[in-house]
Amino acid sequence: MAKTLKIFKRKAKEPPKDKPFFPDFAMFELLVGLILVVLLVVAALIWPGVAGPAADPSGEGRPESFIFHSLGVLPGWLVAVGIGLAVGFVILLFFIPRLDPGDRRTVKAKRVTAVLGGLFILGWLGLYAAYGFFAVPQGSNNTPGAEWGLCYRCHGYWDGPRNPLGVAAHGAVPDANCMTCHLDHPKLVNYYWHAEERVSPEGETTPAGLFPGTHRCSDCHNPHAPKADAVTPGDTRMEMMRAGGDRYVFPYRRTPSAEVHPSLPMSTCYRCHEFGFQRGGASEVLAEYPDMGLVGEHPPLGGRDCLVCHEAVTETGVGGINCLFTNADGDVHGLYGVQGSDCTACHSVTTPGE
Amino acid sequence: MSEATRKKIGDSRWLKWLDERVRLKGWVVEAMRKPVHPWARKWYYCLGGLTLVTFLVLVVTGLILLQHYRPTPEGAAESIGYIMNDVWLGWLVRGIHHWAANVMMVLIVAHMVRVFLTGAYKKPRELNWIAGVLLLVTTAGFYVSGFVLPWDQRGFEIASAIVGALKQVPLVGDLLAGIVTSVTPVGGEALGFFFDNHVIVLPLVIFVLLLFHFVMIRRQGIAEPL
């Protein structure tokens, strides 16, 4: 009987033993480290960041992020107090072992934890509240009298690359008020060629470039929709622009077309290109970018063969010559319905002097 | 790994040749066989190691960026544009550098919280805790100076804000601000200060601190949680 009971008796669990650093722990660290590196690469692929314009010390500042802008807006004495608190916090960290000298964590140590955590949270809340209190109207290049605080009604204080915080949707806004915020926001405005757009007090806008005539913002934009769907569904012009922008414009910034348009930020493209056409005709384009090789004079060949720059026959090529654009990213011209057309309908190749 | 495999590796002719010259075998074997206690085999005990991984990623990507970066007000933003648009995979390297910097700040704080909550700062590890706090400060220095380097509008404003804030320090404010720059608005002098610190001074400091940190961990082992 005693033997039977012994069989059913649960074996006492052995306490886990020490293991050598290698391979168990080392390989585990290595694996987790590799996963981290992969995650970093994925993050960089999805949000690669942008190259901002060069600093303009003489120009108006732009609100780039909450914390640093706050340092400029808040009174100097308050900034000094904030820095003093931060320094005090770090000094306090140095003395943690001294504040909690016992062998085991004590009630005193828990109080230290609570005080440190409380200081940290209160510091951030205080800074945020102070900004809201002291923020003053400051004009900017585009909208005199606009308040920087407007930015933070929509955006969170953390402004990472293409940060979507807080910009999901906003409520009903009269057309007359759209540009109060949007005209001052280069990322939103320039992206869709609204850089030179102006709005009348009645809310009618005169967009530059693509949309001749007068329009209201709400003709195309739905202020109630999330950012990604801010364009009114069914508006084919805007949808095609978005498709064209995402598919054809973004890759050009870093892949083959960097050779075609060296060092041009994306917004610069829109100064010449409009959905497959050249604004103002070739002369205006060539006046600004004489090396583009569009209608008009070809850049000096200097005795080189065409194939130095242009690749040989492809299915869309004409006369054994194919466009760099086509080679760069598939059939860009196909988007605009010119696939298979004669290149010389838009481009001419004439050597100067001939 | 079986004992036979270990012996086979240890008997390798090449390793013997190497050990006759560098005499590191004993140290390496000891380091590899150092026992890791069961409580240390938890995921949150990896936070320190992961911080080191992000640091190494930052070193590698930083060296690549340094090859193309120009630390002048006229050339900085342009060179960043060059890295993003023209350097092969430059945009990716810069993106990884950016994200690794952010992740390192998060990891180092998370690591310190773990150390704090497990009471790992207690005797005899007080000095290592202090080294950890210094590493946090040094990393924050890297982080802030890294924002200035592109010398875009944000970098310029950050540099201006730092100089302005330093001037507010009682008694020695002007002296401190003068270390960064003597010119207003801030320009090449301030950019040079942040560049020097980002690529020379702070790397030296962090190397010494990391060395001390790891040697102490090796000597003292990982603290038993409370």
Q: According to the model, what pLDDT value does residue A46 have?
A: 86
DSSP state of A53: P
Distance from C-alpha of A201 to C-alpha of A203, rounded to nearest angstrom: 5
Query: Dihedral of the CA atoms A176, A177, A178, A179 (nearest 10)?
Result: 90
Residue A170 has what pLDDT?
Answer: 47
Is it the case that residue B69 has pLDDT exceeding 70?
A: yes
Is there a contact between B153 and A44 if contact means CB atoms under 8 Å apart? Answer: no
Give Cα separations from A17 to A13, A51, B38, B221 (angstroms).
12, 52, 6, 16
CATH 3.30.200.210 fits B43-220, yes or no: no
Q: What type of residue is A223?
A: P
pLDDT for position B203: 95
B112 Cβ neighbours under 8 A, 6+ residues apart: A93, B132, B133, B136
**CA-based Rg of chain B, rounded to a whole angstrom?**
22
Q: Which of B80, B86, B116 sits opposite A96 (nearest CB)?
A: B116
Strands (E), chain A: 19-20, 198-199, 204-206, 215-216, 273-274, 277-278
User: What is the reported pTM?
Assistant: 0.59
What's the confidence (pLDDT) of residue A331?
Answer: 42
pLDDT, averaged across chain B: 87
Considering CB atoms only, which of A55, A113, A262 is closest to B77? A55
Model confidence pLDDT, tens digit, residues B103-155: 999 999 999 988 988 888 888 889 999 999 999 999 999 998 998 999 887 78
Is residue B101 scored above 70 in pLDDT? yes
| Closest Cβ–Cβ partner in B38, B154, B164 for A16 | B38
Mean pLDDT of B74-87: 88
Query: What pLDDT score does A338 carry?
Result: 45
Q: How confident is the model at residue B41 (pLDDT cuts 50, 70, 90)?
A: confident
Structure tokens at A346: 């838009």
Query: What DSSP letter does each residue of A67-127 carry, written as one string?
Result: HHHHHHHS-HHHHHHHHHHHHHHHHHHHTHHHHS-SSS--HHHHHHHHHHHHHHHHHHHHH
Rounded Cα distance between B6 and B52, Å, is: 28
Separation of alpha carbons A49 and A124, rounded Å: 26
Question: Taking CB atoms and an 8 Å cutoff, what residues of chain A touch B85?
Answer: 51, 253-254, 258, 262-264
- Closest-CA distance, A219 to chain B, in angstroms, reads 34
pLDDT under 70: residue ranges of chain A: 1-15, 53, 56-76, 79, 104, 124, 127-354
Delimit the domains of chain A by residue range.
Answer: 66-134, 238-345
Chain A residues lying within 8 Å of B123, measured CB to CB: 97, 101, 103
For residue A201, the distance in angstroms to the closest alpha carbon of chain B comes to 31
- Report how many Cβ contacts below 8 Å link chain A to chain B: 210
Q: What is the pLDDT of residues B179-200, one digit of tens each?
A: 888 877 788 888 999 999 999 9
Q: Strand order of the sheet with strand A215-216? A: A198-199, A204-206, A215-216
Which of the four pLDDT bands, split at 50, 70 and 90, describes residue B44?
confident
Q: Which residue has the tokens 């004439």?
A: A350
pLDDT tens readout for residues A5-54: 565 566 666 667 777 777 777 888 889 999 999 999 999 988 887 777 67
Residues of B in contact with A80 (CB under 8 A): 165, 168-170
What are the tokens at A332? 């860009």
Which range among A216-225, B31-40, B70-79 shows the weakest confidence by mean pLDDT? Answer: A216-225
Q: How far apart are the first and last CA of chain A?
A: 114
* Residue ranges of domains in chain B: 43-220
Contact call for A54 and B151, based on CB within 8 A = yes
Cis amide prior to A186 (ω within 30 degrees): no
What pLDDT score was predicted for residue A195?
35
ipTM over 0.85: no
